[in-house]
Chains A and B, each alone.
Chain A
Amino acid sequence: MPELHVSDLVVRFPGLERPALDIPTLQLPAGAHVALTGPSGSGKTTLINILTGLDRAPAGRVIWGDTDIGRLGEGARDRWRAGHVGLVMQEFHLFPGLSALENVLLPQRLATFRLAPGRRAEADRLLARVGIERPGQKVETLSRGQMQRVAVARALVARPPILVADEPTASLDADAGAAVAELLAALAREVGATLIVATHDARLIAGMAQVLRLEAGRLVPAGANPAAPAPTHAAVDPAA
Chain B
Amino acid sequence: MFRLIAADLVRHRWGALAIALLIALATALGVVVTLEERALRLGSARAAAAFDLVIGAPGSETQLVLSAVFLQPAPLTLLPGSVLAALATDPRVAYAAPVGFGDFSDDRPVIGTTQPLVDGLGGVTEGHSFRRLGDAIMGAAVPRALGDSFHPMHGLAEARGGVHSAITYRIVGRLAPTGTAWDRAILVPIEAVWRTHAPGTHGAEDHGSEGHGSEDHEDANHAAEGHAQAEAEPHDAPDPSEPGPAAGTPARTIAEAHRQREQSDAAGFDAPINPEALTAPDAPGVPAIVVKPRTIADAYRLRQAYRTDHTLAVFPGEVLTRLYGTLGDARQILAFVTLNAQLLVAAAVLLVVLIHVMGRRRQIGALRAFGAPRAVVCAVVWLEAVLVIGAGLAGGFALGFGVARLLARQISMQTGVVLPVGFAAEDGGAFLLLFAIGGLAALLPAVLAYRQSPAAALRA
Contacts and interface: CB of A to CB of B under 8 A. Distances in A.
A56 to B, nearest CB: 9
B367 interface: yes
A107 B1 CA distance: 9
B372 A111 contact: yes
B8 interface: yes
A218 B10 CA distance: 46
Interface residues of A, number: 31
Given A95-B7, A110-B4, A74 B374 contact: yes
Given A81-B371, A87-B369, A93-B370, A106 B458 contact: no
A78 B3 contact: no
A109 B1 contact: yes
A198 to B, nearest CB: 13
A111 B373 contact: yes
Looking at A75, A106, A158, which has the most chain B CB atoms within 10 Å of its CB?
A: A106
Contacts of A55: 453, 455
A74 to B, nearest CB: 7
Interface stretch (A96-104, A171-179, A188-196): A96-104
Contacts of A107: 367, 370-372
Interface in B362-396: 362-363, 366-377, 380
A158 B371 CA distance: 10
Nearest to A94: B366
Interface string B428-460: 000000000000000000000000011100100
A162 to B, nearest CB: 12
A106 B370 contact: yes
Contacts of A97: 6-8, 10-11
B4 A106 contact: yes
Contacts of B455: 49, 54-55
B371 to A, nearest CB: 3
A93 B362 contact: yes
B374 A78 contact: yes
A97 B2 CA distance: 13
Nearest to B371: A82
Interface residues of B, number: 27
Contacts of B4: 95, 98, 106, 109-110
B405 to A, nearest CB: 38
B363 A79 contact: no
| B contact patch SS | helix
A97 B454 CA distance: 22
Contacts of A52: 369
B368 A78 contact: yes
Contact of B458 (A54, A85, A108, A110): A54
B373 A75 contact: yes
A151 to B, nearest CB: 9
A103 B314 CA distance: 75
A93 B371 contact: no
Interface in A67-120: 74-75, 78-79, 81-83, 85, 87, 89, 91, 93, 95-98, 102, 106-111, 113
Nearest to A80: B371
A37 to B, nearest CB: 20
Interface in B71-125: none
B10 A110 contact: no
A109 B7 CA distance: 15
Given A96-B7, A98-B4, A111 B366 contact: no
A75 B374 contact: yes
Contact of B367 (A74, A108, A110): A110
Interface string B414-432: 0000000000000000000
Nearest to A158: B371
B10 A89 contact: no
Contacts of A81: 369, 371
Nearest to B1: A110
User: Interface centre among B3, B10, B11, B453, by most A CB within 10 Å?
Assistant: B3
A154 interface: yes
Contacts of B453: 54-55
Nearest to B366: A93
A54 B370 contact: no
Which of A52, A97, A98, A102 has most chain B Cβ within 10 Å? A97
Please list the 7 inter-chain residue pairs (A to B) with the smallest Cβ-Cβ separation, ordered nearest first: A82-B371, A97-B7, A93-B366, A110-B372, A107-B370, A54-B455, A107-B371
Given A110-B1, A110-B377, 5 more contacts: A54-B454, A82-B370, A83-B371, A110-B367, A111-B376
25 contacts: A49-B455, A54-B368, A54-B455, A75-B373, A75-B375, A81-B371, A87-B370, A89-B458, A93-B362, A93-B369, A93-B370, A95-B4, A97-B10, A106-B4, A106-B370, A107-B370, A107-B371, A108-B371, A109-B3, A110-B367, A110-B372, A110-B377, A111-B372, A111-B376, A154-B370
